[in-house]
Each structure stands twice: as C-alpha cells, then as structure tokens.
Amino acid sequence: MLDHILSILIFFPALAAVLGFIVHKDSMRAYGIIVATVEFILSLWLWYAFDNNIAGMQFLEQVNLVPAFGISYLVGVDGISLFIIIMASFFTMLGIATLTETRRIKDLIITLLFLQMTMVGVFAALDAILFYVFWELSLVPMLLIIGIWGGPLRIYASVKFFLYTFAGSLVMLVGMLFMAYYYYQATAMMAPNGIGTWSFSLLDWYRLRLDVDLQWWLFVAFFFGFAIKVPMFPFHTWLPYAHGQAPTIGSVILAAVLLKMGTYAFIRFSLPLFPDASVALMYPVAILAIIMIIYTAMVAYAQKDIKQVVAYSSVSHMGVIILGTFALNVEGITGSVFLMIAHGVVSGALFLLVGVIYDRRHTKLMSEFGGLAHIMPKYATIFGIMMMASVGLPLTINFVGEFLSLLGFYKQSHMMTLLAGTAIIVGAIYMLAAYKKMFFGEVTKEENKNLKDINKTELLGLIPLTIIAIWLGIYPKPVLEPINNSVEVLVQLMHEKAITEEAKSVIPSIVKFETQEAH
Amino acid sequence: MLEAVNVSFASLNVATLMPMTIAIIGALAIIVIDLIKGGLDKSLYVMIAMLFLLLDLGAVMGSANVFAANGTQLGFFDVMLIDGLAVLGQIIIVVASMMFIPLALTSKRFHEFSYPEFFALFLFMIAGFQFMVASDNLILIFVGLETASLALYPMIALHNRSKSFEAAVKYFTMGALAAGLFAFGSMVLYALTGSIEIHQIAGVLAADGYANMGYVLVGTLFLLAAFAFKLSLVPFHTWTPDVYEGSSAALAGYMSIVPKIAAFIVAMRLFEFLIHSGVIWLEVVLYAMVVITMTMANIWAIVQTDVKRMLAYSSVSHAGFVMAAVLIGTTQANTGLFLYWILFSFANLGAFTMLWVSRQKVLLPGQSSDHPFEKFSGMFQTSPIQATLMALFMLTLAGLPPFALFWGKLYLIGAAVSGGFTVLALIMALNSAVAGYYYIKLIVFMFMKDPVNAEGRDYLVNASTSLKTIIGMAAFASLFLFLAVSPLIEFIGSFVYNSGY
C-alpha cells in the first residue's frame, strides 16, 4: 500500500466525493469530516514513512498515459511538496469540521472533496501535463464554491477568478509543449536513428540544458501561469474580489493552499529548468515582489473590511515568499517553502477567525465592532496570537520563514531586503490598527453586547492552528530539515545546469555534494 | 470513329465504391419500403438506416484493411482514391452519423421524422460526403459535395418552422454561391494544368515551376473561398448561426461535425501541396483566416443570448482552430486534426443532444428562442444530473483537462509548436481562454442563479431511452476517452503518415 500511497492520497477524496452523492444531506457533514480525517491521517502516514535522509523524490509511481506523446502519470514527493500536501489535507479537514454554511451543504462538501483531489494532485505531480490537469481542474470546484456560496458579487468574482487563471495557465501550457518539443529535439540529436521521444516528465526535463535565450522565453511563458496564481503584482486584481466574495471555507482554502500552487510551481519548474533566466530575471522579479509587499501592505492599511485586511496582508506575505524563492540560495528557498506552510497556517486561521465574527454579525466592517475583547475574550486571545504570528513576531511560525527568506535575499541585495523588511513594520502597523479598532476601546454598538464567545466547534479548528503556529515557531526543525535537504539538491542541480558564469556564481554550489563527488 | 474502350472489370476496382453503394442502396430501400407500405413508424427507418450504416462501416473497415496491406487504392479510372485520409474520413462520417441518427427517436413527435424521405436523404447525404473524401478528382469532389448539400437543405427545411425555411433557403443560397466558387476555381486550375486531379495538378504546377503564379492565385483563392463557406471560416461564416438556430438541435449538431470533416479532408488534399511548394501568400492568407476565425467567432459567441447560437459560433471557432492543422501541415498536425475532430464530435454530440432533449414544442411565455441562457437558469436545483452532464460537456468543449477535447487541443498546439508556429500556438492557447468565458457562462446560469419562469419547464421533455443512452455515451467518452488517446494517435498517425500527409 505504501507504494501507492500518493495515488491513494490523490484519488481517495475524489472517490469519496462520488460516493458522497448517495449520502443523505443531513449526514453529509459527518461523512465529509470522516473522509477528510482519513485523508489527513494518510498524509501523516506519508510523513511518517517519508525518509528524511533521502533528499530526492520518494514514493515515485509511473503509469504511461499517452506514450506516443510522452505523457505519463508520474507522482512523487520530496521535502518541498510533502508539507504542502499535509497542509492541504489538514485544511480541508479543518474547513469541513468548522463549516457553518447550511445552504446546499451536500454539494459544498462534494465540491470540497473534489478540490482536495486536485490540490494533492498538483503538489504530487511530476509530469507537466499531469500537473497541468490538476492545476486546471482545481479551478472548477473553486469557481463553484465562490459562485454558489459567495457574497452578492459572487458571480463576477468567480468568473474573474476563473478566466484570469485559465488564461495564464494556457500560456504556461504552450511553454510546457515547447519544453517537451525541445526534449524531443534533444533526444533526436542523441539517438542513433534520429528519432526523438516526447516527454513531459519533470525528471527528464531536469536533465536538459537549455540555451539562455530559450530559457528566457520559457521562463516568461511559465511566469504568466504562476504569477497569476500567486498572485503577483500586477496580476493580483482577481484576488481581493475572490476573497471578498468567497465564503469562509473558500477563503481559507484559497489562501492556505491554492495560492501556494503558484509559489510551489516557481520552485518546481522555473528555478531548476531555467537557472540562467532565473538569475538574469532575479532583480525584475524581486522588484515586482517588493512592490507587491509594500503596495499591498499599504492597501491593507486603507481597508475598512477586516476580511480585505487579511486578504491584502496575505498577498503581501506572498511577496516575501517570492523574494525568498528568488534569492536562489538554500536559505532563501528553504525559508520560502517554510513560509508557504507558515502563511497557510496563519492566513488560514485568520480567515477562519474572520468567519467566526461574520457568522455572528453578518458584517465584516471594522467600524461595526470595537471593544470585542470585553465580550469575546477567548476570541480576542486567539486572534491576537494569530495576528502576532502574521506580523512575524519571533517565536511564531511566520518569523522563521520570513527571517530565512530575507536572510537569503540579503546575500543578493542589501538595499532591497531592507525595503522588504520595512513592509514587515507596515504589516505590524495595519494589523495592530485593525486589532485596535475591533477589540479595544468601548463597546459602541448595541448589537455587539450580546455576542457569544467562540464555541467548541470553532475552538476545535483554531486550537490546533494556534498550537502549530507556536510549536513550529519555537522548534521548526522537524519541518525545516526535510525541506532543507531537498532544497540543497535543487540548488545543486541549478548550479550544475547553469550555463553562464554569472549564474554559476550567483547560485552557490553545495559543499556537501562536492565532497561526496570527490570521494 | 471513336476508339473502343476496353475496360477490364478488375481494373475498375469496384471495392473502392462499396461503402457509398451500400449507403445509396439503403436510401433506395427506405423509399421502396415506403412505397410498398406507407405509414410505418420512424423507429423502423432509424434502425434501417443504422443497419445500412453498420454495413457501410464494415465496408470502410474492409478498405482500411486493404489500405493497411497494399497502400493507396485507385479505382474507376483513377477517379476513386482510397488512401488513409479517405478511410479515416469515412470512418468519422459513418460513425458520427450512427451516433446522430438515433436522435430522431424523440418522445415528442416532430414533423420531419414522419417522412421516410428524411432518412433516405440522410443516407444519400452520407454517400455524398463519402464520395467527397474518397477522391482527388475535383469533379467527383464537386458532385459529392453537391449531392450531400442538396440532401441537407430539405432536411433542414423539413423541420417545418418559419425559421427552418429561412435557414434552409439561406444555406441553399450560400451553398450555391460556394458551389459556383468551387466550379470557377477548379476551372482555372484545369485551364492552367489540363487536369482535374489534384496530384496531377500539383505535378504539372511543380514541373513548370509555378510560372503562372497569378492564375494559380486566382484559382486557389476561389477554391479557398468555397471551402471557407463549407467550413464556416470567417468571413464566410455568416450563415452558420442562423442555419443552426433554424434547424433542429440534432441536425445542427450533425452539421457542426460531419460536413466539416469532409471539407477538411478536401482542404488538406488541396492546400497542403500548395503550402509545401512555398506559395507564401496562401500561407499568409490561411494564417490570417485561421486567426481571425478563432478570435472573431469567440468574441461573437460571448455576446450571444441563445445557447444554440453560442454553440454555433463556438463551432466556427473550433473549425478555425482545426484549420490551423492544415496550415501547419506536418504529419503531427494532420493527425491532430483527426484526433481533435473525433474528440470534438463526442463533446458536441453531448451538448447538442442535451439541447435537443430539452426542446419544447411550444415556446414558454416570455421566451424568444428555443434555448436562451435564462432557460437554464438554476437548472442544477431542479434537475441536478442533467445540469452536471451539461456542465461536463461545456467544460469539455472549453478544453479543460482531463476531459476529452483537452488532449486534442494539447496535441494540436503541440503540433504548432513543433511545426515552428510558436506565435500561432500562443494565439490558439489564448483563444481557448476566451472561449472559456462563454462555456462558463452557461455553467454560471445553471449552478449559480436561481430558476426563472420554471413553471412548465422540463429539461427532459424530449428524452427517450435511446437519447439518454446517447447522452450517457457522450458523457462517458468525454470523461474517459483520454485513456484511448494514445491508441487513437497511433491508429490515426499510421493512416495519415502512410498517405503521405
């Protein structure tokens, strides 16, 4: 069973979703929780069975799908994808467990389970087409979640979300086809009979060395797909609508997992495939990331709606992830992968917290609140911890990731790291200001006086997140170590594949591997 | 004194004519049965047509075997040409026809199906299309094309609504114009080369090094226009939405598949040697036509308020997409053309059949056309299974992976990339994104809006077991055909490659 654990992880939720059509709608939530819990336990088992000493891909499975065109079902995990997969199953479980939605609950849970399949699939896929299949397929459940259970502008928001990402990823598809064709040409040159083979396998692609010019073009093509998903400035405009209109569960999954697809894909595709282009475009991308960090932090400060504050702050932190990724060294990339987990935990929790208050008051305007700390002390405490984690207080989960990301980029540019660092201060400002408006001062609104504090179901979702946020802040090693091992392999691969001297000097070689080779 | 022509029977190679003959015999049999005993039920005629189509398919498979063993077959004074394209084309034509003809078995009575002549015309039409793909003789292509078209016009008109008459007359007028253009174009090429067979035309033109380029241009331009009419490429597409709207959904779906594959094959035979011989301007014209067709049709489709008209424009866009294969002209592209069209026909079959089963004989109050978007508003709440199926077909048509059509798109865009048409590949990809909008629009209506005027609404009003079976088959194909993509590519690829395309 362990040989096929990834396939089970991918298809178990989908199968359960199909069977779910038969379950009665009153029992659907229990069914959803059970399925998601089983999936989560399976993903923990994956972690347990995962060998930290192997830095490469593990649990590989391969089935040829279209051999004539080099497409196969190829999945595997390494330290980079392992924790994102666990996070995806964790948040689906939490999301279903804390679900307060009552309309068409059965459809919602079936949609969520399908979404889970696509999420796990994206992070496990090692074949570009398989990756693309799950990547695109994830749009449909999200379209439905926003479009059916969302706010008043839901249709506009969901269609905008769909079209934006769909357009971007089709450009990426052309890039993928070009890569596969390049592989075909390369193998044709090597083969004695001059007939090449197509391949979409990432493991095959990793062996290719591309001309610098070609790297540029392909980098840009892939960039469109990934940057829209992240979303990077200036492609971020769909996100505030999506978050603003999505129901709580939609925002949680979107922020915690779906956005990570973009940053993960940068690390999985762009960096190792196009090392020279990555080096050459490091500063342009970093500038976009810094604009994104500072600009969205300022926008967040100007928001009146607490959910929008969280949404923009989430975009701002995504900028730090991009910055860490494009530090192109082990510290930066490890930090950015860790920050993906951290960002997932923190922003997921914050969206859940916003959902809690929205369920009670049906408004998200901060001006409607004030003095909530007196009425809902537990809620205020958890919100406070999560907000501190979000601004990157030391000993919280975000701090580790942000620190490593910035440290990594500090080696490339002091000035730009400094700029990005100021955004953390701005982040503290808008978060604290929002917190002040909502929780401190006098209770001004009559409706707020009788609000119930957080209930058991909600605690069930929030307590684990709080524990993780603190635990991994204090002791990040269990997660950091496997990530670090895989990132070292990645950076070494980039160093070896780089063509230009400049790129070789920017991307450090890992000492460990060199000594091994010497033996 | 005329010389006596001695023809040995064997040299005629009658086997090449076998499939069409079966279809024609079937058509005649239907007429004869009607003469002997009138008033028989339509189900009988549907099944007779099915049987003859099965025999037809068997004969096509027979010629496929002959082709696989002995290569290209000529027959009837070299008028018939059975190569891989002809075989593939005939398989698609006959199989698609077999999938569409049971759509006549609706639970409600429709005017046209009460006439046995409808089914006779249907088989005549198929024979016409088969002749069209199985020849490289311009005259026989012309005859095949006209046979098929002249059978199709009355079939549209038999739907017996004022819009159907309009559609039939419009189609007839446009078709007549296209026929004229075709005849004129062939005439110019004949005057230039003294031959009406495409491979001889190619040979003569190559031998004199395209000396009379001006005339070649004129001839090809007219032929291109003629096929652009049949393939509904912009700017010769104007008839398409009106004709689709006027015909029954079943026939509209049929028209979006079968006549076009026949025209694609002829276009492939005709234009590829011209492109390969370096007639640059043709490449430019085709390039522009492909891009404009894809893009404009997509934009028009966005603003439609009727689902059938939307699907009409979308089929125009798909035709433009596939025409890119003719432009690229590599073996991979031509394989992609067939692959795409096979996958497309299943998705389109499903979508049009869904419209067809929901077709009410009398329009509800406040409804201006048969299938406005509002009709499907909130469909998921009242009939979830039908809505899910319809959504599946829409997502398939949009090219969302892993549904069937995605693999066709993938293969064709891949062919564009490997053929050196990177910009075209990008345009094709972006157009798929634009197309996403109008397919999603229907899903938005079905899933996210609330029902409007739902009283008396029945999305299965027309359904019978056979129609449901067809929908199920199309859904199954859309979901799982990706497993068959690899064998399909190999099967198609060998036929295409061995025919020299």
DSSP code string of B212-227? THHHHHHHHHHHHHHH
Inter-chain residue contact B418 with A129, CB threshold 8 Å: no
In a domain, B6, yes or no: no
Percent residues over pLDDT 70 in chain A: 98
Q: Mean pLDDT across the stretch B451-471? A: 79
Flag whether pLDDT at A164 surpasses 80.
yes
The pLDDT mean for chain B works out to 88
Q: Is A177 an interface residue toward B (CB < 8 Å)? A: yes
The Cα of B187 is separated from the nearest Cα of chain A by a number of Å equal to 42
Three-class DSSP category at B13: coil
Flag whether pLDDT at B167 surpasses 80.
yes
Q: Mean pLDDT across the stretch B244-261? A: 90
Flag whether pLDDT at B115 surpasses 80.
yes
Inter-chain residue contact B402 with A133, CB threshold 8 Å: yes
As for how many domains chain B has, the answer is 1
CA distance A506 to A280: 10
| Long-range pairs, A504-512, Cβ under 8 A, ≥24 | A506/A279, A506/A282, A506/A328, A506/A412, A507/A275, A507/A279, A507/A328, A507/A329, A508/A329, A508/A330, A510/A330, A512/A488
Q: Is B444 an interface residue toward A (CB < 8 Å)? A: yes
Residue-wise pLDDT for A410-447, tens only, equals: 888 888 888 888 877 888 888 888 888 888 888 887 77
What is the per-residue DSSP string for B29-71?
A: HHHHHHHHS----HHHHHHHHHHHHHHHHHHHHHHHHHHHHH-
The Cα of B238 is separated from the nearest Cα of chain A by a number of Å equal to 28
Q: Mean pLDDT across the stretch B209-216? A: 81
CA angle, corner A474, sides to A472 and A478, nearest 5?
A: 45
- Band (pLDDT 50/70/90 cuts) for residue A517 is very low
Which residues touch B336 (CB under 8 Å, ≥6 apart)? Answer: B325, B408, B411, B412, B414, B415
The residue with tokens 């990157």 is A392
Assess contact for B467 and B356: CB atoms under 8 A: yes
Residue B46 sits in which domain range?
12-498
CA distance A289 to A278: 14
Residue B74 forms beta bridges with which residues? B81
In a domain, B72, yes or no: yes
Query: For residue A63, what is the enclosing H or E element?
Result: strand A58-66
Residue A463 identity (one-letter amino acid): I
Q: Is A66 an interface residue toward B (CB < 8 Å)? A: yes
pLDDT at A518: 41
| A414 burial via Cβ count (<10 Å: 0-12, 13-18, 19+) | exposed
Scanning A179-198 for CB atoms below 8 A from B yields 180-181, 184, 198
pLDDT at B366: 67
Which residue in the set A147, A163, A173 is minimally distant from B429, CB to CB? A173
Residues of chain B with Cβ-Cβ distance to A73 below 8 Å are none
- Band (pLDDT 50/70/90 cuts) for residue B235 is confident
Percent residues over pLDDT 90 in chain A: 29
In a domain, B447, yes or no: yes
For A160, A166, A333, B144, B149, the CA distances from B401, given in Å and listed in that order, are 19, 11, 31, 37, 36
pLDDT at A511: 66
Q: Mean pLDDT across the stretch B42-59? A: 92
Lowest mean pLDDT among A85-94, A365-374, B336-345, B398-407: A365-374
Q: Nearest chain B Cα to A103, which residue?
A: B381
CA distance B396 to A344: 32
Residues of chain A with Cβ-Cβ distance to B447 below 8 Å are 144, 147-148
pLDDT at A512: 62
Flag whether pLDDT at B1 surpasses 60.
no
- Band (pLDDT 50/70/90 cuts) for residue A196 is confident
SS (H, E, C) B248-296: CHHHHHHHHHHHHHHHHHHHHHHHHHHHHCCCHHHHHHHHHHHHHHHHH
Alpha helices per DSSP H over A266-329: 271-273, 275-280, 282-301, 306-325
Q: Mean pLDDT across the stretch B24-38? A: 91
Sign of the CA dihedral with B477 first, then B483, B489, and B495 last: negative
CA distance B478 to A194: 36
- Band (pLDDT 50/70/90 cuts) for residue A374 is confident
Pairing of strands B73-75, B80-82: antiparallel
Interface ipTM: 0.88
- Band (pLDDT 50/70/90 cuts) for residue A54 is confident
Q: Is B436 an interface residue toward A (CB < 8 Å)? A: yes
Which residue in the set A136, A159, A170 is minimally distant from B440, CB to CB? A159
A179: its two tokens? 């890569």
Inter-chain residue contact B486 with A166, CB threshold 8 Å: no
Flag whether pLDDT at B448 surpasses 60.
yes
Which among B396, B444, B479, B480 is the top mutation candidate for probing chain A, defined by the most A β-carbons within 10 Å of its own β-carbon? B444
The pLDDT mean for chain A works out to 87
Q: Is B400 an interface residue toward A (CB < 8 Å)? A: yes
In a domain, B249, yes or no: yes
In a domain, B5, yes or no: no
In a domain, B2, yes or no: no
For A43, A113, B147, B257, B286, the CA distances from B228, given in Å and listed in that order, are 55, 46, 18, 15, 10
In a domain, B364, yes or no: yes
In a domain, B1, yes or no: no
Flag whether pLDDT at B452 surpasses 80.
no
- Band (pLDDT 50/70/90 cuts) for residue A361 is confident
